[in-house]
């Protein structure tokens, strides 16, 4: 956990969010407007963290994870810029989620774009 905090601080995220224990969606969006590189790294870190829990079950889909027990699948042709762009565009128009954690916001935004095939 300490290395994650240090990594975020070094990558450009401000220390303001850590006073409350997490970076909010609002703070995340503000930081992303200033510098996209740490923003992309943050989104990809959330995606990889979420995928880690389901890597064996959903391995055929490169961007797949579970949210509340339901699979979230994203287009395999998306790259880090696509994923981040989708997250930012969804979160920008959802001011009611701006006070929640940025990690939750990223997962929420990507879950709204899920294209999992249910059988």
Does residue 7 lie in a domain region?
Answer: no
Phi-psi group of 116: left, alpha or beta (phi > 0 → left; psi -120 to 50 → alpha; rest → beta): beta
Does residue 52 lie in a domain region?
Answer: yes
Structure tokens at 7: 């990594």
Domain of residue 49 covers 24-111
Does residue 32 lie in a domain region?
Answer: yes
Does residue 31 lie in a domain region?
Answer: yes
Average pLDDT, stretch 44-53? 80
Share the mean pLDDT of the chain. Answer: 77
Does residue 92 lie in a domain region?
Answer: yes
Query: What are the tens digits of pLDDT across the range 95-111?
Result: 999 999 999 999 999 88
Answer yes or no: are the C-beta atoms of 81 and 8 closer than 8 Å: no
Query: Does residue 59 surpass a pLDDT of 50?
Result: yes
Number of domains, the chain: 1
- Give 81's DSSP letter: H
Does residue 36 lie in a domain region?
Answer: yes
Does residue 119 lie in a domain region?
Answer: no
- How far are the Cα atoms of 6, 7, 33, 82, 84 from residue 89, in angstroms, in the given order? 27, 25, 12, 11, 9
108 vs 4, higher pLDDT: 108
Does residue 116 lie in a domain region?
Answer: no
Q: Who's near 59: CB < 8 A, 6+ residues apart? A: none
């Amino acid at each position: 956990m300490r290395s994650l905090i240090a990594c975020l601080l070094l990558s450009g995220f401000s220390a303001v969010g850590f006073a409350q224990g997490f970076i909010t969606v609002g703070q995340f969006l503000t930081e992303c407007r200033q510098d996209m590189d740490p923003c992309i790294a943050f989104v990809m870190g959330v995606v990889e963290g979420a995928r880690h829990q389901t890597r064996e079950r959903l391995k055929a889909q490169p961007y797949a994870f579970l949210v509340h027990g339901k699979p979230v699948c994203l287009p395999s042709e998306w790259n880090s810029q696509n994923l981040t762009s989708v997250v930012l565009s969804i979160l920008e128009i959802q001011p009611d989620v701006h006070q929640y954690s940025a990690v939750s916001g990223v997962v929420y935004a990507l879950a709204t774009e899920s294209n999992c095939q249910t059988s």
